[in-house]
Structure 1
């Protein structure tokens, strides 16, 4: 019995439905329930539910298409992770290649490398995406942020934003922009040591990405930096909660507007540590926040005015 006579075009798996066709064994009534169609009288299972909602992994043995075969695409690689690697010393079975075969494969690798990046545009994409993966690895960023940074770099190249600018600066700016899109507490000063460009080029690349690609990025808030700095100086939970409370009070009253969020977060931790008798030095907080101790003291005075009011 063909499945088109048993199954409707669409149905609910959990619904119990009658079938108009009789049972092939006893001519009894058929019913469809969940994953199978069975006879009410004799209990014969006519046909089980064969729809697989999993991924379509096909092989090519029976002539079907294999377009869905392979690993998922990787946006952080210039060829989406579909490149082919040519070995050098051993074949697929682990046998050592002869010297003549190794020389031939060496020539094949050279030509294959040239074919992967035949144009200047493809070579810039390769350099930039490699730098994106390197910077993301240095900062231990999650894969979602790394892929978002790679997508931003590809969009920048598609909009012709790379000519006249450093590829490394655009790669570092893409990673920083991805962190801002995901509300990760990072600053440009933290990316400068690992970026292969100076601070001005990195800042200019980020501003170009934000304006030309239309990125809707909210200004960073001091409360996002508090947990990170609190974990670095190993302060107590009560101190961290108090610092978060102070940072949110400054944000709600508008006193954090126009202030460096890292400096405000450092001052909140300093004031909270003093209230709970924990020792945290201003110079250490200033170094972690990439501000001066004068900034930490100025923000501290503002916090004390707010709490005493």
Structure 2
């Protein structure tokens, strides 16, 4: 007898009701799965408990009643896409203790397996770059989906010969920064360079190479995206942050912020918005938080002040 599809229905733990897995419980719209999240295409609600299969991936076969399970899904974050073999130490698959002779044999097999892990220098370089991307993504607290995209971009760069004459660390850091730009995740070049063994110039050169050679559809950065992080560093009131966001939004709509450093312009908007405070942060402190010079914040502040005066 054919078994029921495990994804046909889901259980909503908040309401205790069984809901259809292909319709939104809020508006009845269509659900899409992206990066492990199930979200409604119409209203945008994220549903996390409707299609969970805690037993693991299912083995695809002609028999629908098969309950056999496979390993983890394929991923670009591993040089072998996750299809690797691990040799145990003291116990077998059933948990039984192995004899000393068997353990010595496994040690020899493990040594040879480690030597044959990479079939070429290119694969070894790929593994080094993916490990560097994993470390950078962990230090920057990026989502797993961004790490997956950065690993895929690094593979593309290697396939196009962009690693020749450049360090693996710089291209790995540039891949992470490029993916942050593509997903509009606020990370500056300085923030990425602080968690890498290379300097800012190497990361910038690597990003410029990726952007030029691969023609990445990178959108321009908006100063509004940098305001929350700078405001949190000084613990500014919410009304000051709202005013700064309003200033930055009006300047962006009128093209005043075009061609400016987005973080520096955001710091200038915060400087104007916090000028009415009893003890506002100094321009030098805001410049350090935005990783720009004090002259940049001062010039952008004059531009914002002139724009607001002319707009009134």
TM-score (norm 2): 0.75
Tell me, what secondary structure is at the counterpart of 1:141?
Answer: coil
Q: 1:83 to 1:226 in 2, by over 3 A?
A: same
- Aligned residue in 1 for 2:251: 250
Tell me, what secondary structure is at the counterpart of 1:275?
Answer: coil
Structure 2: how far apart are the matches of 1:160 and 1:72? 28
Q: 1:237 to 1:77 in 2, by over 3 A?
A: same
- Aligned residue in 2 for 1:204: 205
Tell me, what secondary structure is at the counterpart of 1:274?
Answer: coil
Q: 1:281 to 1:71 in 2, by over 3 A?
A: same
- Aligned residue in 2 for 1:306: 307
In the TM superposition, residue 96 of structure 1 has moved relative to its aligned partner by 4.2
CA contact (8 A) 2:186 2:226 kept: yes
Structure 1: how far apart are the matches of 2:68 and 2:179? 31
CA contact (8 A) 1:172 1:195 kept: yes
How many residue pairs end up in the alignment? 259
Q: Do structure 1's residue 294 and structure 2's residue 295 form an aligned pair?
A: yes
- Aligned residue in 2 for 1:114: 115
CA contact (8 A) 1:222 1:264 kept: yes
In the TM superposition, residue 68 of structure 1 has moved relative to its aligned partner by 7.9
Q: Mapping of 1:194-233 within 5 angstroms?
A: 194-233=195-234
In the TM superposition, residue 220 of structure 1 has moved relative to its aligned partner by 1.1
RMSD: 2.8
- Aligned residue in 2 for 1:186: 187
Deviation per residue, 1:238-273 (Å, 9 max, x gap): 111101011112212222122111111111112212
- Aligned residue in 1 for 2:276: 275
Q: 1:69 to 1:95 in 2, by over 3 A?
A: closer
Unpaired segments ≥5 residues, structure 1:
4-52
Structure 1: how far apart are the matches of 2:67 and 2:158? 31
Structure 2: how far apart are the matches of 1:171 and 1:212? 15
Q: 1:138 to 1:54 in 2, by over 3 A?
A: closer
Structure 1: how far apart are the matches of 2:69 and 2:97? 33
Q: Do structure 1's residue 165 and structure 2's residue 166 form an aligned pair?
A: yes
- Aligned residue in 2 for 1:177: 178
CA contact (8 A) 1:266 1:289 kept: yes
Q: Do structure 1's residue 235 and structure 2's residue 245 form an aligned pair?
A: no
Structure 2: how far apart are the matches of 1:283 and 1:255? 23
Q: Do structure 1's residue 142 and structure 2's residue 143 form an aligned pair?
A: yes
Which of these two proteins has the greater Rg computed from alpha carbons? 1
Structure 2: how far apart are the matches of 1:163 and 1:59? 40
Unpaired segments ≥5 residues, structure 2:
3-50
- Aligned residue in 1 for 2:90: 89
CA contact (8 A) 1:222 1:247 kept: yes
In the TM superposition, residue 89 of structure 1 has moved relative to its aligned partner by 3.2
Structure 2: how far apart are the matches of 1:240 and 1:251? 16
